[in-house]
Amino acid sequence: MEKLNVIRQTHKKSNGKRKVSYVKERIKSSDLISTMEAIMKQNTKYYQSDFEIDKKILKEAAESPVKTDKTLLWLSRTHGTHCFKERDVFLKNSCAYHTWLYYADQTHEHVLAYMVEITGVFDGKLAGSLYHLDYEMHCRHLIETAIPADHVKVIYEHGCRIVPAGQHISVHTDRQMGKVVYLEEYPKDLDIFERILQEERARRHLSKPVSIHAHMPAQGKKLNI
């Protein structure tokens, strides 16, 4: 990730407050999973089974009562796919943050990047918008904008535990609290973090929707940043 570190230093010196327009277009869909699957089948040549994991993540996000869980970031690349909550990607040094940036240096990969916004479920189908991103530009923006994770909330069947970021977390069953259900990272200043996510929301909502049929990518883009 050395190249990305150089970008971070350069942009902080020269473009500290510039607005980033990384959204190429907005695609409204009444069946997000089908739309994403069509994109994946065109662009992802190997490990298409990764999308089964993505579908599970998307359905869990749709069922979540937490509004920020319904916005995700999705990558379709030559060798598989990845899907993360947007909030997790914007926490510096999280697994989601590093994975999202990793493929910017993998020039052999054809990468298509999207922000996924789930707005509802109708007749069993997830509805919402796909925001086609300029992946290279979004990576640059992420490096400048993300804030460090401060601690991890470990949710068990019968309680929770707070663990400092970077500390080893055992996923074994706790005698008192039971099995680990999930882990979620948090920043030190939640107000600042929520403001960052609000600004991301405002930025993408400026983009105009296009027809699904107008957006049929033949392949991704080789990146070298």
Dihedral sign for Cα atoms in the order 112, 92, 96, 61: negative
| Spatial contact of 100 and 75, defined as CB atoms under 8 Å apart | yes
Averaged pLDDT score across all residues of the chain: 85
Question: Minimal CA–CA distance to 97: which of 213, 218, 8?
Answer: 8
Burial tier of 128 (Cβ tally within 10 Å: 0-12, 13-18, 19+): buried
Is 212 or 115 the better-scoring residue by pLDDT? 115
pLDDT at 22: 92
pLDDT at 182: 85
The pLDDT confidence band at residue 172, using thresholds 50, 70 and 90, is confident
Beta bridge partners, 117, equal 71, 129
pLDDT (tens digit per residue) in 179-208: 999 889 999 999 999 999 999 999 888 877
Judged against a pLDDT cut of 60, whether residue 218 lies above it is answered with: no
Report d(CA 158, CA 103) in Å as an integer. Answer: 38
pLDDT (tens digit per residue) in 4-55: 433 333 333 334 444 558 999 999 999 999 999 999 999 999 999 999 999 9
Number of neighbours of residue 26 by Cβ within 10 angstroms: 19
User: Residue for token digits 């607005």?
Assistant: 19
